[in-house]
């Protein structure tokens, strides 16, 4: 009797599997958000499931998300993410695949402003820069470099794991596989604590490290070490950006995959079918009204802010820790005008030598100030002389007041701003979130809590695409595996 009922149950399961397609590929996938995360996951999902799967990409704003440009004086300038590390392998691959080009580098010198004077000035001479660092800070900068390199070296393992098809269901599993408990610890300890431990001096942290963290995250050396190390890596390597604008990567990937981009705000995702493979109802809203459709797989590729515009999940118990409540507001002001070089101690504007100004933690209203080049650079393009009108990109936690603009600029023609929820306030949560919210419902931006950058989101996109694929075909040996370094080696 018991055997018969077991047999019946097995038969029923088989029938259910046949009804939902069994081993068939998914028929429809929804991606919410068309930033780099959404565009990249669309590309990777198509790579894995093949071109016959229909992918709908919902975007409530503009394609590109935090990759965006603003037009000033008939030229376009980056108003969101500006540049990437040379080891951003997924981004490099996208650019090559799409036939895009790297933007030509137009050299400019950097300096760190300490409120009254510059605490560090870059010169044209590499050896002199090294000598100055050595003179002021001793071995600290070498120790910093070694610390950052070690983190980067371990982080780069992810590309190998992903090339072998391995995926992770949560941020903790992913980080552990790369750097074991030391990576997990680095999400809990501060940059300052970690650096002091390896022998970097407090003065070096105050002058240099915190300036870099302010410029890249608007945060201090109290932020977690893992995100900090990734930002400091960005400050060391050669940086690059995309000719024509970084957002071209997003529109290019979506065009390439022939994804169906729907301009609408997704308001809810509801689990409809619980037997066999799940089915999700995605409800969305635009000028036309409210619409909805069914999907086999849903990828949320946007942070889940807790305001009333957030997406609600129904029909299952969604993890309670998905809402990303504290994000760092960052305002980018593109100012076309004349810099007030006196403010920086250079009464003669002709003698002002710097194009990129970082700031230490002194009480100030801005984090960084850059003389920027347009996204399309012609071969004969020259950077503006310091006494000429130029386009400056000011990064600040709040919109600049008129009086603050008058402090930084002698005069200006125009000011245009972009207000962002730029990065998570790193360190503001105690648990590392999951990518999988339900069987086939994923949240890509979970990885932003470890570190937030364009390449990290591309890594998250590849992980989510692999996770969806491995789960769909029940290839559980490729999910959350331990000791991958060893496995990957013996597989070759």
For ligand NAG, the binding residue among 342, 385, 414, 431 (CB under 6 A) is 342
For ligand FAD, the binding residue among 330, 371, 396, 470 (CB under 6 A) is 330
For residues 403 and 380, give the distance between their C-alpha atoms in angstroms, rounded to a whole number: 36
Regarding 406 and contact with ligand NAG (CB under 6 A), the answer is yes
Closer residue to ligand FAD, CB minimum distance, 122 or 455: 455
Stretch that binds ligand FAD, among 11-19, 75-83, 270-278, 318-326 (CB under 6 A): 75-83
CB of 39 to ligand NAG, least distance (A): 17
426, 219 contact by CB (below 8 A): yes
CB of 19 to ligand NAG, least distance (A): 39
CB of 223 to ligand FAD, least distance (A): 14
Regarding 463 and contact with ligand FAD (CB under 6 A), the answer is no
Quote the distance between the C-alpha of residue 111 and its chain's center: 25
For residues 338 and 301, give the distance between their C-alpha atoms in angstroms, rounded to a whole number: 39
| Cα–Cα distances in angstroms (integers) from residue 159 to residues 88, 167, 364, 455, in the given order | 10, 11, 40, 11
187, 175 contact by CB (below 8 A): yes
CB of 377 to ligand NAG, least distance (A): 9
452 binds, among ligand NAG, ligand FAD, none (CB under 5 to 8 A by kind): ligand FAD
For ligand FAD, the binding residue among 26, 28, 30, 38 (CB under 6 A) is 38
For residues 196 and 109, give the distance between their C-alpha atoms in angstroms, rounded to a whole number: 28
For residues 85 and 451, give the distance between their C-alpha atoms in angstroms, rounded to a whole number: 14
Element at 329 (helix H, strand E):
strand 327-339
> Taken in order 270, 422, 153, 97, is the CA torsion positive or negative?
positive
Stretch that binds ligand FAD, among 52-60, 114-122, 167-175, 180-188 (CB under 6 A): 52-60
For ligand FAD, the binding residue among 29, 81, 205, 339 (CB under 6 A) is 81
Stretch that binds ligand NAG, among 233-241, 390-398, 403-411, 413-421 (CB under 6 A): 403-411
What are the backbone dihedrals phi and psi of residue 116, each rounded to the nearest 5 degrees, phi first?
-115, -40
For residues 329 and 218, give the distance between their C-alpha atoms in angstroms, rounded to a whole number: 9
Cβ-closest position to ligand NAG? 244
For ligand FAD, the binding residue among 30, 46, 59, 70 (CB under 6 A) is 59
Nearest-5° Cα angle at 257, 256 to 259: 120
Stretch that binds ligand FAD, among 74-82, 150-158, 182-190, 479-487 (CB under 6 A): 74-82
Q: Copy the structure tokens of residue 165.
A: 């098809």
For residues 435 and 444, give the distance between their C-alpha atoms in angstroms, rounded to a whole number: 6
Q: Where are the alpha helices (DSSP H) in 198-224?
A: 202-204, 210-217
Residue 434, beta-bridge partner list: 170
Stretch that binds ligand FAD, among 344-352, 353-361, 398-406, 449-457 (CB under 6 A): 449-457
243 binds, among ligand FAD, ligand NAG, none (CB under 5 to 8 A by kind): ligand NAG
CB of 11 to ligand FAD, least distance (A): 41
For residues 321 and 306, give the distance between their C-alpha atoms in angstroms, rounded to a whole number: 11
CB of 478 to ligand NAG, least distance (A): 26
Regarding 407 and contact with ligand NAG (CB under 6 A), the answer is yes
- Residue 314: which of 268, 277, 279, 274 has the closest Cα? 268
Size of interface with ligand NAG, in residues (CB under 6 A): 14
422 binds, among ligand NAG, ligand FAD, none (CB under 5 to 8 A by kind): ligand FAD
Q: Copy the structure tokens of residue 87.
A: 């080891």
Name the CA dihedral angle for 410, 419, 261, 255, rounded to a multiple of 10 degrees. Answer: 40
Quote the distance between the C-alpha of residue 224 and its chain's center: 16
- Touching ligand FAD, residues 296-325 (CB under 6 A): 301-302, 311
42, 55 contact by CB (below 8 A): yes
Q: Copy the structure tokens of residue 336.
A: 């076309």
Other Cβ atoms within 10 Å of 295 Cβ, number: 24
Closer residue to ligand NAG, CB minimum distance, 430 or 490: 430
252 binds, among ligand NAG, ligand FAD, none (CB under 5 to 8 A by kind): none
Q: Copy the structure tokens of residue 349.
A: 């504007």
- Touching ligand FAD, residues 221-280 (CB under 6 A): 265-266
Closer residue to ligand FAD, CB minimum distance, 340 or 371: 371
For ligand FAD, the binding residue among 44, 45, 80, 464 (CB under 6 A) is 80
Which residues form the interface with ligand FAD (CB under 6 A)? 32-38, 58-61, 65-67, 80-84, 265-266, 301-302, 311, 330, 332, 420, 422, 445, 452-455, 457
Which residues form the interface with ligand NAG (CB under 6 A)? 181-182, 185, 243-244, 308-309, 340, 342-343, 376, 406-407, 410
């Amino acid at each position: 009797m018991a055997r018969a009922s077991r047999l019946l149950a097995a038969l029923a399961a088989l029938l259910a599997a046949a009804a939902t397609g069994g081993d068939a590929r998914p028929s429809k996938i929804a991606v919410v958000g068309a930033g780099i995360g959404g565009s990249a996951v669309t590309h990777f999902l198509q790579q894995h499931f093949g071109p016959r799967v229909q992918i709908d990409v919902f975007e409530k704003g503009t394609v590109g998300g935090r990759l965006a440009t603003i037009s000033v004086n008939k030229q376009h300038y980056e108003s969101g993410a500006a540049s990437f590390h040379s080891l951003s392998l997924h981004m490099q691959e996208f650019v090559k695949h799409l036939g895009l080009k790297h933007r030509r580098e137009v050299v400019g010198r950097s300096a760190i402003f300490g409120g009254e004077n510059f605490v560090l000035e870059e010169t044209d001479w590499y050896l002199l820069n090294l000598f100055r660092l050595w003179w002021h800070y001793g071995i600290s900068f070498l120790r910093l470099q070694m610390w950052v390199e070690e983190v980067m070296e371990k982080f780069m393992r992810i590309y190998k794991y992903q090339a072998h098809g391995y995926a992770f269901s949560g941020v903790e599993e992913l980080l552990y596989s790369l750097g074991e408990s030391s990576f997990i610890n680095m999400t809990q300890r501060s940059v300052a604590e970690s650096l002091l431990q390896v022998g970097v001096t407090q003065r070096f942290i105050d002058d240099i490290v915190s300036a870099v963290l302010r410029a890249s995250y608007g945060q201090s050396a109290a932020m977690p070490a893992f995100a900090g190390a990734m930002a400091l890596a960005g400050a060391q390597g050669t940086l690059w950006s995309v000719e024509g604008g970084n957002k071209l990567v997003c529109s290019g990937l979506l065009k390439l995959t022939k994804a169906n981009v729907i301009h609408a705000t997704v308001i809810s995702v509801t689990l409809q079918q619980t037997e066999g493979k799940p089915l999700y109802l995605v409800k969305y809203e635009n000028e036309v009204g409210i619409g909805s459709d069914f999907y086999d797989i849903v990828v949320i590729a946007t942070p889940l802010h807790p305001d009333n515009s957030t997406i609600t999940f129904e029909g299952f118990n969604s993890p309670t820790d998905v809402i990303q409540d504290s994000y760092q507001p960052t305002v980018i002001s593109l100012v076309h005008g004349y810099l007030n070089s006196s403010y920086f101690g250079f009464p003669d504007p002709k003698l002002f030598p710097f194009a990129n100004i970082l700031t230490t933690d002194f009480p100030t209203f801005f984090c960084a100030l850059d003389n920027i080049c347009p996204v399309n650079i012609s071969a004969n393009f020259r950077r503006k002389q310091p006494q000429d009108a130029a386009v400056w990109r000011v990064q600040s936690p709040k919109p600049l007041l008129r009086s603050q603009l008058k402090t930084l600029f002698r005069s200006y023609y125009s000011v245009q701003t972009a207000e962002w929820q730029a990065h998570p306030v790193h360190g503001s949560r105690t648990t590392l979130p999951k990518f999988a919210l339900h069987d086939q419902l994923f949240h890509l931006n979970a990885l932003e809590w470890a570190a937030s950058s364009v390449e990290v989101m591309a890594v998250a996109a590849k992980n989510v695409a692999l996770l969806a694929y491995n789960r769909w075909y029940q290839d559980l040996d490729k999910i959350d595996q331990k000791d991958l370094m060893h496995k990957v080696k013996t597989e070759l």
